[in-house]
Amino acid sequence: MQISLLRKKWIVYWGIILYRILLDVNYAEIIAPIYAYSGFVNLSTDYTCAISYIVLLLSMHFIIKQYSSERLLLSNVVVLLYLVCFVPGTSLMAYIPMNIHFWVLFLVYWFLFLYLALFIRPVKIPVLSNRGRNILLYLILGGIITTVLYVSWKYAGFRIHFSLRDVYDLREEERSWNLPLIFGYLLPTASTILPVFLVYFLVKKRLWLVLLLSVAILLNFSIGGHKSVIFKLLFCFLGYWFYSREKVSLYAWFLAFLSFISFLEWKICQSFTICTLLIRRALFLPAYLNYHYYDYFSTHEQDVFRQSFLRHLGIQSPYDIPIPRLIGEVYYNSSDTNANNGLFSDAYLNMGTVGVLLFPFLLIMVINIIDSVAKGIDDKLLILPIVVIVVVFSAGTLMSGLLTGGVGVLTLILFLFPKNKLGVRNV
C-alpha cells in the first residue's frame, strides 16, 4: 500500500514537471518567436528560470495531497485550476519581466488558495425527503426545458441546425433578439444541466426522457449555434464511460501529452494550430491577462463589484464599458476584444490587495459548498460539472460565474440530484 502510494506521488510529481517543461518548450520555440508583438517575449535568464521552478516545486507540496483526497469534486477542481491557471503563470515568470509586486500578490493568492483547500471542512447540508427533492428537481428541469422550447419557438421558429460551419451567423442573429435577462441565465445553464440529466436517464433506461432531453439539447444548440452545447454533451458521455477518481493523477500527463503534440506539429508540419488554440489561447493568454489587470487597476480605481451585482441596486461603475472590453481596448487596441479573466484578475480588479487576500477564501468556500452538496452522486456524473466549474471561474468573475455562468443553478441541481443510499460516491 505504501509502495503504491509512493509510486502514485512520483507519477504526479513527474507529470507536473514534464508538463511545465513542455510548456516552456512551446513558449520558447513557437509562441515567443511568433507572438512577441503581443507581449509574449523571451527575456529569460538563469535566475528567472530557477526562481520559477522553485515556486513550482514549493506549490507542488500543497497540491500533491489533493490527488489522494476523498473529496472528489473539490480535489478535481483545485487540481485542474492549478494546472491550467497557476502552472502557465510560473512559466511566464521565467520569460516575461513583470513587476515584482504583481508576482508577490499572485503567489500570495495561489498559495493561500492551495493551503485553504487542504484544511477546509465539508459543509453540513440539510437533507430533504426524497419526494420533496424529486418534485423540486423535476420542476427545475421542466422549467429549463420549457425555457429552451419557448425561446426556440418565439425567436428561432423551432429550427433544427446541425452544421458547425455557420454558427457565427446564428450567434449574430441571437444577439439581435435582445433576449430578456432571465433567458441569459437559463440558456447557458441548460447547456450544462441537460447533458447530465440525459446521461443519468439513459443509465436508468427512461428512454422517453432521453428523447425529450435530446430534442431540447438540439434546439438549444440551434438557437445560437454555441459549440459548447455540443461539446458539453460529448464530454458528459465520455466522462461517464471513461472517468474514474484515479484519473486525477493523469491530468498533468494528459496536458503534457497535448503540449508534446503541439511541439511535434510545429517541428513536423511547420504549423501551430494546436499551440495557438490550446497552449497560447487557453493557457498562456489567461495567465498573461492577470498582469494586464494588475497593471491597469494598480493605477486606476477598483470596481468594487459595481459592474457586478451592485449595478442592479443602481450603483454605477466608474467605467462606461465592460471591464473585459476596457482591458482589450487598452492592451490590445480593440474594444471588441473581450479580455475575460477570473481568479486573481477578479480579486484585484474589485478590491486590489485586499481582494487578493479575501477572494481565495470566497472561492474555496464556494467550491466547498458545491462539493458538499454533490456528496453521494455517482462519480461519473460529476466530470462535466467539474470541468464547467473550472472553465467558468477561470474565465470570468466569481459573481458572474454563480449567476450568468450557471454555477448557482448547477449547485442547486446537485443538491437535489439522486444520491446513492450510503451517501458515499460510487467508485
Distance CA 211, CA 206 (A): 9
CA distance linking residue 109 with residue 225, whole number of Å: 37
Residue 208's H or E segment, with its range, is helix 207-224
- Residue 36: CB atoms within 10 A of its CB come to 11
What distance in Å separates the CA atoms of residue 134 and residue 120, rounded to the nearest whole number? 30
Cα–Cα distance measured from residue 162 to residue 27, given in angstroms and rounded to the nearest whole number: 36
Q: How far apart are CA 80 and CA 89, in angstroms?
A: 14
Using the predicted structure, report yes or no on whether residue 416 has a pLDDT greater than 80.
Answer: yes
Rg (the chain; Cα; Å): 22
* DSSP-derived secondary structure letter, 66: G
Rounded to whole angstroms, how far apart are CA atoms 401 and 305? 13
Per-residue pLDDT, 66: 84
Contacts of 137-146 with C-beta under 8 Å, sequence gap 24+, read: 137/413, 137/416, 137/417, 140/409, 140/412, 140/413, 140/416, 141/193, 141/197, 143/186, 144/186, 144/189, 144/190, 144/193, 144/194, 144/216, 145/190, 145/194, 145/212, 145/213, 145/216
pLDDT tier at 2 (50, 70, 90 boundaries)? very low
Please say if the pLDDT value at position 347 is more than 90: yes
Segment 173-196 shows an average pLDDT of 82
- Residue closest to 123 by CA, chosen among 360, 315, 369: 369
Give me the half-sphere count of Cα atoms (radius 13 Å) on the Cβ side of residue 86. 30
Residue with cell 472517468: 243
Report which listed range, 36-50, 333-347, 383-397, is most confident: 36-50
pLDDT digits (tens, 9 = 90+) for 37-88: 999 999 999 999 999 999 999 999 889 888 777 888 999 999 999 999 999 9
Q: Which residues contact 419 (CB under 8 A, 6 or more apart)?
A: 375, 376, 377
Question: pTM for the complete prediction?
Answer: 0.89
CA pair distance 418, 204, nearest whole angstrom: 12
| Best mean pLDDT range from 291-295, 376-380, 387-391 | 291-295
Which of 105-119, 128-142, 238-252 has the lowest average pLDDT? 238-252
Average pLDDT, the chain: 87
